[in-house]
Structures are given as C-alpha cells and as structure tokens.
Structure 1
Amino acid sequence: MKIGEVAGAAGVSVDTVRFYERRGVLPPAQRRPSGYRVFPPSAADRIRSAKALQELGFTLDEVVAALQAHDTGDATCATERWRLEAVVARLDERIEQLRRVRRNAADCLADCRAGCCRLVGEPR
C-alpha cells in the first residue's frame, strides 16, 4: 500500500504515518526504486491499534513498547497488564493534581467575588 492509502485506511494524515514510522510504531517501509514507501496492509491496523492505546492514555513510547512486546509473540493479557495499571495510576495522579488546581482556582475566584483579588495582590 502507498502511504496515502495507509493513511486513509487508518484515518490519519500522511504526516502521521511518517511520524509513526520514524518513532518505531511502524516498521520501516519498503521503498520502490522511485523512493516511494510501500507498506503492508497490516500497517493500517497497527496504526489503529496505536491510536487506540494512545486514547487509553498510553504515551507514544509506551505504545511502541507494547507493540514490540506483541510482535515477539509472547505478550498475553497477564504479561502486559502492568502497562495498563501504570497508565491508570498515572491518570489517577493527574486527576488528583487537577482537583487541587481546581480547588485553588475556585478559592481564588471566591476571594475575587468577595472583593479580595489574589491575582493582583490587593483588594478591589
């Protein structure tokens, strides 16, 4: 498949396909004598898998590692569960951080409404 065909089948841009190839999500494409990339039909499925992992909260490096583990043929749900557990733990930490930031912003807003604006440091 040509790069544009892979991009269309995967629902991403041609630049995304190139980026995923550079980052190791996709194995390097074969090249025609003209220099055009030629990908196997499985490339679109691999991109969709990568996008699905990213939507779950995996970083790109984690996506690459998970796909490489899958490529070895030894990956099972039991052996790979730790990856998803790490994502959930990271998301929980981020949610708590956002809750703290929101509380601080809400407190600042309440002070502002009460005539004591913390943004400029003096009452208004």
Structure 2
Amino acid sequence: MSTSPHRASDHQPEDRQDTVATGRAGHNGVLFAMCLSLVLVVASVSALNLALPDLAIDLSATNASLTWIADGYTVALAALVLPLGAIGDRIGRRNVLVAGTVVFGIASLAASFADSTTT
C-alpha cells in the first residue's frame, strides 16, 4: 500500500490572493482589539496602584490591607476569564469582548464621577 503525497494546491481556494489579504486584515483587527482590551485592564490595575497611597490615608489601611485591595481587584478580573471564555464559546467571542469592554468602560466612567467624602 502506498500513500500519495498531498499537493499544496489540493486544499487551497482558487482565488488565494483575496483570501490572504482578507485573512491578514482580519488578523490585524483581532490583534488590535485584543491589545486595546489588554491596555484597558492594565490601565485600571495601574490606576489602582497609583491610588493606593490615598487609599491608605483615607481608610487608615495597613500594608497588608493594601496588598489585599490590589490583589483582590486583580483576582476578581482573573476569575472572570474562564466563565466569560465559556460564555464566549457559546454566544461568540466578539460579542462577549464587546459587551465586556462596554460594561468595563461604563463602570470606569461611573467610578470617575464618584464623589469622595472626607470626615
């Protein structure tokens, strides 16, 4: 029994140029969307780290408390990765990414208008 080698042209579409151009543009769009989402998350964690000295003063927090605040925020974000990934597999990754980015943006906007009270 002999096997015949597969030729590269057997599995490629007839108009390969259009497919390659569209594929690259699609990959660049996905890369841009993922980088933008990552920038939003990193910016929020950085903003929290910048706010830690003020939180320490306002809340009279110890170093251990500040560590819990920073780690709790990061763990909460990380804990959402698996369940939202499963939801993305069911209803579409793009839809979940857009919805998550919108919810995150609205929450960040609401937090920026929060009034701090001093006693």
Q: TM-score, normalised by structure 1?
A: 0.36
Greater fraction of residues in helix:
2
Q: TM-score, normalised by structure 2?
A: 0.37
